[in-house]
């Protein structure tokens, strides 16, 4: 098939999203949707630049110049940071790497696109929470309310396990082991499963949460939900953390000076483990890092640890959705949105 022929782009996109990403590469749905969002933004940008609809785009319309202009647009108009820019470029690279494999006649175009480099970004200080700050946040949660008890259990589990936000969103009741030995099964990036031990105090909080909500821990029922019973979202977790950070700043002023977000709790877990004398390879396994090199940054983060002897840390007291079928609909944008 000639890749410049009308509707060829739709056929390639169908193969990329419906076959290559989920079946050949075995990527998770979350990763596939991330690719979808990036390519959707790119197609919209190119179509707008050329004054045509997305359905009228041809493969030859997506040259190096358009991709570089798209990357500039992300930074200058959408005010995306370098990391987001590079993530979008990675999705574009992935798509054209696939195109190069099935359309040798487009190889020259694909090679030039694949040679577009990722942009280097300045290294920023990683913010994390000290042990006293974590305790201040947990003490600030109003546990007399239903949502407050949920927030307290969620934040305690975040610090205990260092779980990513999406991993907490996906957590099911039957992933919890709330009798000795206490643990939680976490499905991480790349569908990698890991088991994290949890403190008895954390297990008790989770047990109480399930009992209050009438959830059988043997069933695959979502653990953390919002006030209407739907799974809590990434925005929801960010919002509740920001709320409790703000409240805790009145009793722990150092919190007001830090730039914190949900991933900061994950960093905090890593530093806490490192202070406890846990080796980097174990921390990498605990957090679900693909390589211990990712974990090495924590070895240089904590100034107190460099000045003092490491002391033992103590616990705190208190199946995949369908990607849709391609029906040769000329509206590519609607099909991508339906994934």
- Determine the number of helices (DSSP H) and then strands (DSSP E) in the chain: 15, 3
Q: Which residues contact 31 (CB under 8 A, 6 or more apart)?
A: 21, 189, 190
Residue the block writes with tokens 């927030």: 151
Tell me the catalytic residues.
Answer: 164, 189, 263, 266, 289, 298
Structure tokens at 57: 């785009």
Q: Which residues contact 330 (CB under 8 A, 6 or more apart)?
A: 7, 10, 55
Q: Of 211, 157, 215, 225, whose CA–CA distance to 186 is shortest?
A: 157
SS3 16: helix
Whether residue 330 contacts residue 7, with contact meaning beta carbons closer than 8 Å, is answered with yes
Q: Of 24, 28, 6, 27, whose CA–CA distance to 15 is shortest?
A: 24
Q: Of 30, 87, 84, whose CA–CA distance to 234 is shortest?
A: 30
Residue the block writes with tokens 């930074």: 75
Which strand ranges, in their side-by-side order, compose the sheet holding 193-197?
176-177, 183-187, 193-197
Residue the block writes with tokens 């940054």: 297
Give the span between the Cα atoms of 48 and 69, in whole angstroms: 12
Q: What is the DSSP string of 70-116?
A: HHHHHHHTS---HHHHHHHHHHHHHHHHHHHHH-GGGHHHHHHHHTP
Write the burial class of residue 162 (CB in 10 Å: 0-12 exposed, 13-18 middle, 19+ buried): buried
Residue the block writes with tokens 């039957």: 174
């Amino acid at each position: 098939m000639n890749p410049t022929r009308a509707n060829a782009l739709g056929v390639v996109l169908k193969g990329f999203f419906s076959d290559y990403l989920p079946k050949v590469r075995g990527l998770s749905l979350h990763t596939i949707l991330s690719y979808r969002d990036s390519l959707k933004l790119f197609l919209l940008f190119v179509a707008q630049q050329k004054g045509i609809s997305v359905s009228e785009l041809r493969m030859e319309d997506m040259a190096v110049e358009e991709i570089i202009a798209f990357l500039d647009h992300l930074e200058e108009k959408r005010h995306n940071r370098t990391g987001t820019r590079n993530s979008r470029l990675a999705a574009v690279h992935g798509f054209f790497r696939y195109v190069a494999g099935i359309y040798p006649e487009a190889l020259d175009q694909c090679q030039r696109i694949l040679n577009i480099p990722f942009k280097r970004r300045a290294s920023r200080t990683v913010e994390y929470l000290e042990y006293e700050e974590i305790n201040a946040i947990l003490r600030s949660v109003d546990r007399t309310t239903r949502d407050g008890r949920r927030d307290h259990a969620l934040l305690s589990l975040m610090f205990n396990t260092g779980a990513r936000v999406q991993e907490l969103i996906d957590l099911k009741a039957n992933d919890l082991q709330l009798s000795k030995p206490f643990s939680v099964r976490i499905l991480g990036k790349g569908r990698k499963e890991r088991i994290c031990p949890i403190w008895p105090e954390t297990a008790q909080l989770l047990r109480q949460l399930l009992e209050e909500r009438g959830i059988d821990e043997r069933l695959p029922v979502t653990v953390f939900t919002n006030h209407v019973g739907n799974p809590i979202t990434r925005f929801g977790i960010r919002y509740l953390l920001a709320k409790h950070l703000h409240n805790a700043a009145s009793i722990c002023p150092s919190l007001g000076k830090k730039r914190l977000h949900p991933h900061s709790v994950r960093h905090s877990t890593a530093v806490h483990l490192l202070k406890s004398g846990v080796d980097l390879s174990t921390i990498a396994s605990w957090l679900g890092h693909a390589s211990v090199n990712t974990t090495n940054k924590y070895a240089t983060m904590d100034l107190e640890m460099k000045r003092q002897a490491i002391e033992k840390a103590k616990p705190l007291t208190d199946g995949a959705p369908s990607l849709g079928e391609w029906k040769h609909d000329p509206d590519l944008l609607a099909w991508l949105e339906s994934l």
